Structure 1
Amino acid sequence: MEPDTLLARITDYTSRPYPYPLYAELREAGPVVRQADGSCLVGTYHEIAALLHDPRMSVDPRTRGEVTHKPPFLRLDDPEHHRLRTLAMRPFGPPHSPGRVDAMRGEIDRITEGLMEPFEAGSQVDIVDDFAYPLPVTVICRLLGVPREDEPLFRAWSDALVAAADVRPEADTTEADKAGDQARIEMGGYLVNLAEQRRGRPGDDMLSAFVNEPDPALRLTQEELAETAVLLLIAGHETTVNLITNGVLTLLRQPEHLDHLRREPALLPRAVEELLRYEPPVHMRERVPHADIEVSGTTISPGTSVVLVLASGNRDPKRFPDPDRFDPTRPDIEHLGFGGGIHLCYGAPLARIEAESALGALIPWLGSARLSQDPPPYRQNAMLRGPRHLPVDL
């Protein structure tokens, strides 16, 4: 097949269970592969890493006139990105010191144990609906200060926002984009209203910290608060759902590693890093250059959509020996699972804690478990790739 159809084939739903042969084809075709729609794909590790750190690469959708409203800081360039990211991170605690997330380790373990109470031998559970989804949603809602009874509201909003955020070959506005915009407005309005209820009456939560900031220079505007709170809630759980679910799927497919981790639980943090390389929760990121950029002899013009296929870079044999093998003892795992550069995932520490807690609790159950369906049904989203359901017989 022609290389200029690779993006269409990668994003086609039939490729979702196992896109890795297409990624190998992408790497073979060259560091930069032009597509029929005018975009460029990059699938080799070193080129992706360099572009993630290149200040000429923009994440702002307004660069291409795709949106008119101010996007969340995840989709902004410096210096505005740095300002808002710094303000959003303040409630997590001071840099390089134990903060709010580290303090939640015990509570995360308790939430994990509570979700596993209904598990019993001889039953079937859906790892996504019964465990991997409710765990990070509960955690991020508690961090933000969302009442438990309101947590179910976020499922539909999250699904709409994630569907709109996918990488697609065509650039036209779709029904998914419209639904995503509506969900963003509704969720933002809900979170701002919740925050305003804490103004002058702060609790020990992040929304309270945002609206009760004493320094006027460090306060978020209402629009910035809405976008930041929505971003924290979505980014705080969507990728973690995939990380946990992909981890369970990988271990059930490779019982020798499951047994190894059961015997040596101290390996679990390294195993989570290897999962972030081997089956990452985020497969692609889009960037747009605002100046000519040369990549391995190919010049990419300003305004071109550049899709960085992180999951392909994670399996680049020029960077990782035997890259298609899952190895929880791999000594060098400098993966692209959390992106890189100034937009390195700010929720990475929380995701690692949640994944370690979840897999640590599940591993004793998985030794005698089996997959009810393999491959399982996957989510539509090609960028945030993971099973939509993962039924397992205990």
Structure 2
Amino acid sequence: MTTTDTRDGARGTAGPVRPGDLALALHTPEARRDPYPFYARMRRESPVHRSTQGIWYLTRYADVETALGDLRLSNDRDRMTRAYGALGGDMKAFSRFTDRLGRVMTNTDPPDHARLRKLANRAFTARRVEALRDGIQRIVDRLVDEAVAAGPTMDLIEAVASPLPMSVVCELFGIPHEDLPQVKTWFRRFGRLTEDIEESEAAIGQYEEYLTGLISRRRAEPGDDLISALVTVQARDDRLTDSELLSTCFVLITAGDETTTHLVGNSTLALLRHPDQLARLREDPALIRTAVDELTRYDTPTQAIVRVVAEDVEIGGQTLREGELVYLFLAAANRDPERFEDPDRLDLTRPGNRHLGFGNGPHFCLGGPLARLQAEVAIGTLVRRLPHLRLADGAALDWRPNPLQRRLSALPLCY
């Protein structure tokens, strides 16, 4: 959801930012390349900052961690729509999308959220995720083989980071491999929500029809996949309606796609920019688990998440009023020197790394363990199989213009 971001971005400049406009600095070209100096400034000067648009920005670890668990900061879709609408944004696209999506974990508060989350947890278990490791390894090996066969250079985003999560989703949900191109097309069209409402809505409708067919087939012939597991959960517990089952499948399939892509791309770039840490990982591949945690902290894929104030709350000496929007900057919290020693240093062996890269509290990212596993396998494989991996000569890095997500448009590499 980028309605507010677009408006701020149009007003941002590359020059000095007035004290009252600290939030606008995050929309400048400099911040797009490297937002972390701007986060440091906000933590120093105005850690609980109200932008000129009336949106609150939280950047300290303690404040963000507390806010993630505070039920007075709501994720409810109707509150969110009203809050954005109060800022003067055109909410037609957002409203249509959320109405079609229905009530799901990502847009509800307790008690509905707790009920839906519990039912999904019973199907999306740690054991089921770990069981995917060998399959993920086969996918990554195939993608790397194809990239190497194509020539001495590759765009990591296009060759590995982007196709990986979609391929894994096919295995996890039992989506036939031959349907993958069509599913990818629908995903691309979802991303055009704010550009072409009719195209995006049509894609969502087609995708829901496709999922409805898959669910029906799994009821008749269950398999060892997540849709079958959710169907089984529904049969045992009728609190999950047909509409909620469909919406839960939709969210689980789509949620981890972008996060995994960002994580693999950002992490690979960070390692290439820190050859001492890359060498350390090559020497000790067993570091990959702690390495992925540190890479997530160091350049967090989901830079910020949005909440709306459901009840007046005081944070950092400021009173946030009902109906106001709050941006919780996970990435800024993950570089807070009050929580992390020497936070701007990449250290793959960092102890006590309780980063907030996948959130915290009741809305902790359900797909976080799967995204982490995919990153472990992908990064570990690249480090092991391509010992001469480096940035392509003259590579110009372009970051997508969305301050809530940090993603490279491309990552040209030589090997």
Q: Structure 2 counterpart of 1:188, which letter?
A: E
Structure 1 equivalent of residue 51 of structure 2: 35
- Please give the secondary structure, in 2, of the residue aligned with 1:146: coil
Are the equivalent residues in 2 in contact too, given 1:339–1:345 (CA < 8 A)?
yes
Structure 2 equivalent of residue 171 of structure 1: none
TM-score for both structures, normalised by structure 2:
0.85
40, 44, 66: which one aligns with 1:50: 66
- Please give the secondary structure, in 1, of the residue aligned with 2:218: coil
Structure 1 residue 308: Cα displacement: 0.6
131, 140, 145: which one aligns with 1:117: 145
Consecutive unaligned residues in structure 2, runs of 5 or more: 1-16, 83-94
- Please give the secondary structure, in 1, of the residue aligned with 2:314: strand
Alignment partners' CA distance in 1, 2:144 and 2:195: 37
Q: 1:190 to 1:382 in 2, by over 3 A?
A: farther
Residue 115 of structure 2 is aligned to residue 83 of structure 1 = yes
- Please give the secondary structure, in 2, of the residue aligned with 1:175: coil
Q: Structure 2 counterpart of 1:291, which letter?
A: E
Count matched residues: 381
Of the structure 1 ranges 222-231 and 131-140, higher mean CA displacement relative to structure 2 is found in: 222-231
Residue 351 of structure 2 is aligned to residue 319 of structure 1 = no
Alignment partners' CA distance in 2, 1:53 and 1:113: 39
Q: 1:181 to 1:50 in 2, by over 3 A?
A: farther
Alignment partners' CA distance in 2, 1:22 and 1:178: 37
Structure 2 equivalent of residue 233 of structure 1: 253
Alignment partners' CA distance in 1, 2:324 and 2:279: 47
Alignment partners' CA distance in 1, 2:377 and 2:309: 39
Structure 1 equivalent of residue 408 of structure 2: 387
Residue 268 of structure 2 is aligned to residue 248 of structure 1 = yes
Residue 18 of structure 2 is aligned to residue 2 of structure 1 = yes
Q: 1:47 to 1:389 in 2, by over 3 A?
A: same
Structure 1 residue 366: Cα displacement: 4.5
Structure 2 equivalent of residue 204 of structure 1: 224
Q: 1:5 to 1:361 in 2, by over 3 A?
A: same
Alignment partners' CA distance in 1, 2:35 and 2:196: 23
Of the structure 1 ranges 32-41 and 364-373, higher mean CA displacement relative to structure 2 is found in: 364-373
Q: Structure 2 counterpart of 1:223, which letter?
A: S
Residue 369 of structure 2 is aligned to residue 337 of structure 1 = no
Structure 2 equivalent of residue 362 of structure 1: 382
- Please give the secondary structure, in 2, of the residue aligned with 1:248: helix
Q: Structure 2 counterpart of 1:52, which letter?
A: L
Pairwise CA RMSD of aligned residues? 2.2
Alignment partners' CA distance in 2, 1:56 and 1:284: 18
Structure 1 residue 228: Cα displacement: 1.2
Structure 1 residue 266: Cα displacement: 1.4
Are the equivalent residues in 2 in contact too, given 1:9–1:15 (CA < 8 A)?
yes
Q: 1:222 to 1:214 in 2, by over 3 A?
A: closer
Superposed CA offset, 1:319-376 (max 9, x none): 1111111111111211010011100111122122111111111003444222125552
Structure 2 equivalent of residue 61 of structure 1: 77
Alignment partners' CA distance in 1, 2:234 and 2:105: 22
Alignment partners' CA distance in 1, 2:371 and 2:164: 11
Structure 1 residue 162: Cα displacement: 4.7
Are the equivalent residues in 1 in contact too, given 2:166–2:184 (CA < 8 A)?
no
Alignment partners' CA distance in 1, 2:196 and 2:22: 22
Structure 2 equivalent of residue 168 of structure 1: none
Of the structure 1 ranges 211-220 and 331-340, higher mean CA displacement relative to structure 2 is found in: 211-220
Alignment partners' CA distance in 1, 2:234 and 2:335: 47
Output aligned runs, 1:92-241, within 5 Å. 92-93=124-125, 99-120=127-148, 123-162=152-191, 174-175=194-195, 180-213=200-233, 215=235, 217-218=237-238, 220-241=240-261
- Please give the secondary structure, in 1, of the residue aligned with 2:120: helix
Structure 1 equivalent of residue 90 of structure 2: none
Structure 1 residue 300: Cα displacement: 0.3
Alignment partners' CA distance in 2, 1:185 and 1:14: 39
Structure 2 equivalent of residue 167 of structure 1: none
Structure 2 equivalent of residue 264 of structure 1: 284
Q: Structure 1 counterpart of 2:258, which letter?
A: E
Of the structure 1 ranges 357-366 and 53-62, higher mean CA displacement relative to structure 2 is found in: 357-366
Structure 1 residue 293: Cα displacement: 0.4
- Please give the secondary structure, in 1, of the residue aligned with 2:307: strand
Consecutive unaligned residues in structure 1, runs of 5 or more: 165-173
Q: Structure 1 counterpart of 2:108, which letter?
A: L
Structure 2 equivalent of residue 74 of structure 1: 106
Alignment partners' CA distance in 2, 1:205 and 1:72: 20
Structure 1 residue 197: Cα displacement: 2.4
Q: Percent identity?
A: 40
Alignment partners' CA distance in 2, 1:143 and 1:262: 30
Are the equivalent residues in 1 in contact too, given 2:312–2:320 (CA < 8 A)?
yes
Superposed CA offset, 1:4-39 (max 9, x none): 434343245663221112211211222211111111
- Please give the secondary structure, in 2, of the residue aligned with 1:238: helix
Are the equivalent residues in 2 in contact too, given 1:259–1:367 (CA < 8 A)?
no
Superposed CA offset, 1:45-80 (max 9, x none): 100000001111101121144437234211211110
Are the equivalent residues in 1 in contact too, given 2:264–2:375 (CA < 8 A)?
yes
Alignment partners' CA distance in 2, 1:73 and 1:227: 9
Structure 1 equivalent of residue 37 of structure 2: 21
Of the structure 1 ranges 370-379 and 324-333, higher mean CA displacement relative to structure 2 is found in: 370-379
